[in-house]
Each structure stands twice: as C-alpha cells, then as structure tokens.
Amino acid sequence: MTTPALTLDDVRAASARLRDRVYRTPVVTSQAFDDASGHTVFFKCENLQRAGSFKIRGALNKLLTLTDEERRRGVVAFSSGNHAQGVALAARLTGTSAVVCMPSDAPALKLEATRGYGAEVVLYDRQKDDREALARRIADETGRVVVPPFDDYAIMAGQGTAALELLDDVGELDVLVTPVGGGGLMAGCSTVARALRPGITIVGVETETANDTYLSLRRGERVSIPPPPTIADGIRLTTPGALTFPILKENLADVALVSDAQVIEAVRFLALRVRIVVEPTGAVPAAAVLSGRLPLERGARVGVVLSGGNIDPAMLVEILKG
C-alpha cells in the first residue's frame, strides 16, 4: 500500500504553523437557508478570513515552510485574484517580497488589494498567455520561489485546515461541499474529512461551463477545456492539478454542476437572508445545496465552505437589484 501524498498529519502541522496568524473563521447557520434547502447547513465562513478568502491558509503555510534563504530571494505566484492576495499578505507577514502574475481581466478589487498588500503585479492575457510559464520565467530570471495556487502539498495542507476547524466545531456531518477550481481546497479538506469521518460523502461543485474536474473524474484522467466563461472567476481553470487530481479522484463521491444563474441566486440569498456577503465562487457550493443539485436525503447535515468574499461592489449591487 502506497503512502498518501497528503495526510491528516500534514494538515495538523499546517494548523500549528498558522495558529494565531490566520483567523479561525466562524461557522454560521441560517434557519432561512435550512428551510429553503431542506437540510441542516453549516457555513464555514472563509469569506471572513484574512485577505477575504481561504487562500491565505495555503499561501502562508507554504511560505512558513521555506528556508530563510528562500524567503530572502522572494516569491512569485500566478492567480486570478484570491491566491494573489493570499500570497501578497503572506509575503508581508513573513518579511519577504512577492511578484504576482494576474490576468488583465481580474476583478479590479482583487488587483487593488494585491498591490495594497505590497506585491508587484505583472498582468497577462488569460486567453493567450500561459500564466504558469510566465511565473516560472520570472523565477528563473530572479531566483524567486514559485508559490503555486493549488498544485503543491504545502498549499493543500494549509487549505485543509478549514475543514479541520469545521469538523472540530460542528462534529458529525453527512456531507462536505466545497467549490473546485484547481483542487487545492478540496484536496486538503477531503483529506481531513476522509481521515476523521470515513463515512462522510464529499462532493465538489463547479459551474456548468467550468466543468474540467467533472469531466476528468468521468474520464478517469485529467481533461482540459477552453478558458471557461463563468461568473465564478475563482474556478475559471482549464484542467485540474496534476497533484490535486489523484486526491480528488480518491476522495470525492462526485462533482455537482450549477448554472451561473443558480450561483447568482445563492449570492443574493446569502446576502439578503443570511446576511453574509460572498463572491460568486464562494457561493458555488451553496448554490448546489439550494438548488437541489446534491444527492442528499432531506434533513442531511451539510458542511459548506464559503471560500471567499471578495466580490466587486458593482457586481454585488447588480445581483442584489435582481
């Protein structure tokens, strides 16, 4: 039997590193959401995390595992937004410098916040440029250490601390649901859930157009899709990670798909009825629960990771106006 590439011990070690450096975000319940969905839902509010998303967990864990010499050289990352902010803040917290490659169509709020944390931003064209190749070229030229958004075991371990806290706070769950982009959040969280609650059902959620993991699980191997049009910018990936996909394949029961319209409705419901502001990507798993896209018996205890809250104000206004 082969040793798992990512273990519960890895996540617990990450939790010890991150203690007092990131927030232990609250778990929120809502009778209105429970009534609308037919389930007992526990929201892990990573939208209230430092830098507005779960990404600081993985980024900071990665930077804390670097040597002093590596931190002196600085880091380089590539991201559509939340990982960018997480790396920028993690660099500031660990006394190093960061260059972040971001798509030119990234939300203005995320670009501004990344620069605000002190990172240098290099823009690229999402439709034409290979963002990872750009970051690795910068690393080769400057000696900086690449901090990937998901395909790194230290990143995954850091992200998994969200599930460690959730299960500690709520006890038994029938189902754990998170959004799936590159798979770092779900790889970490599913590793924790599978170790601590062997009988739990673990379901990832993507939008219908950004369905690379859904297709990959059905094919049994990584599938690539064109850059997908979706309101959920954090999961606009074209293929799951080389390191994350085997973990997802092992741990997930399935990937559910939701429409952009269902995501928008979930953002609106969470804001108006639960009083939680969540960005579209963060609302993807809530959309799956609310719209009945998950294979659940009525009354199931469902843990939902609301992965981020960095929504563009103009977009939020439009969504709330309906």
Name the residues annotated as catalytic.
Answer: 55, 307
Residue 257 DSSP class: E
Quickly list DSSP for 99-147.
EEEEETTS-HHHHHHHHHTTPEEEEE-TTT--HHHHHHHHHHHH-PEE-
Phi/psi of residue 52, nearest 5 degrees = 80, 10
Q: 235 in helix, strand or coil? A: helix
Phi/psi of residue 121, nearest 5 degrees = -105, 130
The two tokens of residue 121 are 């931003």
- Dihedral, CA of residue 297, residue 299, residue 301 and residue 307, to nearest 10: 90
- Dihedral, CA of residue 282, residue 287, residue 288 and residue 289, to nearest 10: 100
First and final C-alpha spacing in the chain: 53
Q: Which burial class, exposed, middle or buried, applies to 243 when counting CB atoms under 10 A from its CB (0-12, 13-18, 19+)?
A: buried
| R_g of the chain, CA atoms, integer Å | 18
Residue among 109, 130, 119 at smallest CA distance from 86: 119
230 forms beta bridges with none
From CA 153, how far away is CA 166, in angstroms rounded? Answer: 20
